[in-house]
Each structure stands twice: as C-alpha cells, then as structure tokens.
Amino acid sequence: MATSIGIMDSAYFVGRNEILTWINNRLQLNLSRIEEAASGAVQCQMLDMTYPGVVPMHKVNFDAKSEYEIIQNYKVLQEVFNKLKIDKHIEVTRLVKGRPLDNLEFLQWLKRYCDSINGGIMNENYNPVERRVKGGKDKTIKGLRSSKSLHSNAMNNSSSLDALNLHRTSGPKHSRSSGGSDEAHLAAEVQALSKQVTDLKLSVDLLEKERDFYFSKLRDIEILCQTSEVENEPLSVAIKKILYAADAKESALEEAQAYINETLEEAAEDEPETET
C-alpha cells in the first residue's frame, strides 16, 4: 500500500503533464495547470472514483475559491482518509496557497495510491460528471472558466477599442477590425507566456528540491565522517577527500581510492610484525 512512500520513489518523478492527463481523463475535466487542483475537490473525487460512494460528494465544493471553502474540502478529504485508515497527513496550510510544487507532490502521491488500489485501471462504471451533479457541486471547470474569462476579457477590450475608434476621424472600421485582432493576438500571447512562466517556476522548484535533498545527504555523510570514533578511519578520510575536493572538473575518486589502497597495503605489511 502506497500510504507512505519515500521522497526518492518513482512516484515523485511523474511529470506535471502526466498528472494533468490522469486527472482530466478520469474525471472528465479540462485542467491546464496543477494549481487548478489546489482546492482539494479533485483529490476528493479521485478517492470517490477509487472507493465509489465513500466520499460525501455533496460536501465537496468544486467552485471553492476562498481559503475557508478550500479548507472545508480538505477536511472532507482527511475524514475520508481516516475512514479508510489511510495513514497520510494532509499539509493543508501548504496546499491552500496553491503553490505548484506542493500540490504536484500531493497529486503524485495520490496517483501512486490510487494506482496501488485499482492497478491504474480506470473504473468504467464511474460517471464523474454525474457524481458531481448529484453532489450539487458541478461547476464550470476552472480550466474552462479561465479560457472563457480570457476570451471575455479580450472581447470586452476589443469593444472598448471599438468605442474609442468611433471618435477617430479616419478609418474607424479599419481601426476596429485591427484593434480587435491585435487584442485577441495579445491575449493569446499572454496566455502562452503565462503557461511558460508557470512551467519554468515548477521546473526550478523541482530542481531546488532535488538539490536540497542531495545536499542534506552529503551533509549527513560529512557529519558521520567527522565523529571522533571514525574520523581517522581510512574510509572516512577517503570520503572527506571527495567531499572537500576543490576542483569540480576533476574527480577526487582516484585519489581517494589510491589512499585506501595505500592504507590497506601498509596494514598488510604491519600484520606479520604484529604476529611475531
């Protein structure tokens, strides 16, 4: 059971696009960003699909926007965890902030858990739209709302430009047409650039996390090698030679291996003298 998996488990290397595809295909949604699942509603329905009827969908708010509403969704999710005896604490205070990395990690864990229950096979008898309707919380999906809102804004801005162009004395029809076209083009560019920025932020967050993870491991090794009981042991000295190597271009592995071999040879030469 994947209730507790290590940070280096393969589950945490599942990419953003794969997670979004997994959500959209199973729940018939149209999410385009990980942050759109930060309300906890998606997670609730994923468990409802895995354990049909267990989640009180009438309490799940797919249109949750305020922190209070989002927390209520996570309370429902935690209650379901407790009911199913899933040993997983939900970091609500981090998830409600909508940060891509925190939400991606939780969704990666959730995917691993659900796959461990159903073998990654979709429940064909489960109707996600119908379940949301029965729960009384079937709202326009955030991904769709975003695109419609963007389209609406573009249309409103185009209308504003049209109104301004009416006051111009030369070529009003041409100005309205080009103004609306330019605005729509700019809106599309803004949307594309916003997605790129989000992807880059997520990549940076993942790289920083991986860096911190390996640094903490190296620091643990360093502390261990510095303990008085083993700091002068050949292996500890060899490890520190690698850790403290100043030139990053050249590996200190050969030097460390040579030191160990030399120490072992000296120890082998001293053994006969000790026996006599």
Q: Does 118 lie in the same domain as 59?
A: yes
The predicted structure's pLDDT at residue 19: 95
Rounded Cα distance, 12 and 115, in Å: 14
Q: Tell me, yes or no, whether 172 lies in a domain.
A: yes
Q: Tell me, yes or no, whether 4 lies in a domain.
A: no
Identify the domain boundary among 178, 213, 248. Answer: 213
Q: How far is CA 145 from the centre of its chain?
A: 22
Q: Which residues have CB under 8 Å from 19's CB, separation 6+?
A: 34, 104, 107, 108, 111
Q: Tell me, yes or no, whether 3 lies in a domain.
A: no
Q: Does 128 lie in the same domain as 109?
A: yes
Residue corresponding to tokens 């149209």: 30
Q: Tell me, yes or no, whether 5 lies in a domain.
A: no
Domain count, the chain: 3
Band of the pLDDT at 145, cuts 50, 70, 90? very low
Q: Tell me, yes or no, whether 29 lies in a domain.
A: yes
Q: Tell me, yes or no, whether 2 lies in a domain.
A: no
Band of the pLDDT at 35, cuts 50, 70, 90? very high
Q: Tell me, yes or no, whether 221 lies in a domain.
A: no
Boundaries of domain holding 44: 10-139
Q: Does 237 lie in the same domain as 119?
A: no
- On the 0-12 / 13-18 / 19+ scale of CB atoms within 10 A, 144 is middle
Identify the domain boundary among 192, 213, 234. Answer: 213
The predicted structure's pLDDT at residue 143: 42
Rounded Cα distance, 78 and 92, in Å: 10
Residue 3 one-letter amino acid = T
The predicted structure's pLDDT at residue 8: 61
Residue 194 gets the label, from left (phi > 0), alpha (psi -120 to 50) or beta, of: alpha
Cβ-contact 224, 230 below 8 angstroms: yes
As given in the structure block, the two tokens for residue 237 are: 């000295």
The predicted structure's pLDDT at residue 13: 84
Residues 37-46: pLDDT tens digits?
Answer: 999 999 999 9
- On the 0-12 / 13-18 / 19+ scale of CB atoms within 10 A, 245 is middle
pLDDT of 174 strictly over 70:
no
The predicted structure's pLDDT at residue 147: 37
Q: Tell me, yes or no, whether 163 lies in a domain.
A: yes
